Structure 1
Amino acid sequence: MNLTGNMKERNCTTQFLNFETEYPKKYHFRIQNREFRATAVCDPVVITVKDSPPSPVINVLGTLKEKEDLTVTCSAFTPCPNSPPKLIWNLLKDSHNNLEGNTDGTYTAQIQENITLTDKHDGYNITCSATYPLNGGKDNKTAEETRTLSVLYSPKNTTASMSPLGLVSADATVNLTCSSRAKPPVRNFTWFKISTGGPLKVFEGDFYSFNVAEGGVYYCEATNDVGNEASSKVKVTMRDRGFASTSFKWGAILGGIFGIIVIICLVILVWRLKSEGQTPPEPQVQTGARVSTEEPVIKTDPEESIHYSEINFYKMRQGPSSERGPQENTVYAEVRASHTQNQEQTADSSTDLYAQVRKPKTGQLT
Structure 2
Amino acid sequence: MLAESKQLMWTLLLLFVEDVFSNKCFVDYPQQTICAVRGSPVVFFCIFNYIEKQEVKKFRWGYVKSSKVRLILNYPGNVSERYEYTGDKEHNCSLKIHKVKHCDAGKYFFRYNTNRRCPTKLLVLNVIDLNISVRKEAIKEGDSVNLTCKNRCDGEEGSYGYSWFKDGEAINEGQVLHLTNVSSKHSGNYTCSLNMKNGTTSGIVQVDVEYGPKNTSVLVRSSSEMGAGSSIVLICCSDAHPPVENYSWFKIAEGWTQKVGHQAELLPVHGGQYLCSVSNKHGSQNSTVFTLKKNSYWTFMRDMLVIISASVVLLLVVTSVIAVCRGQMVRIDLGVKTVTSHKLSTIL
TM-score, with structure 1 as normaliser: 0.46
Structure number having the greater helix percentage: 2
The structure where strand makes up a greater share of residues is 1
Q: TM-score, normalised to structure 2's length? A: 0.48
Q: Which has the higher contact order (CA 8 A, sep 6+)?
A: 2
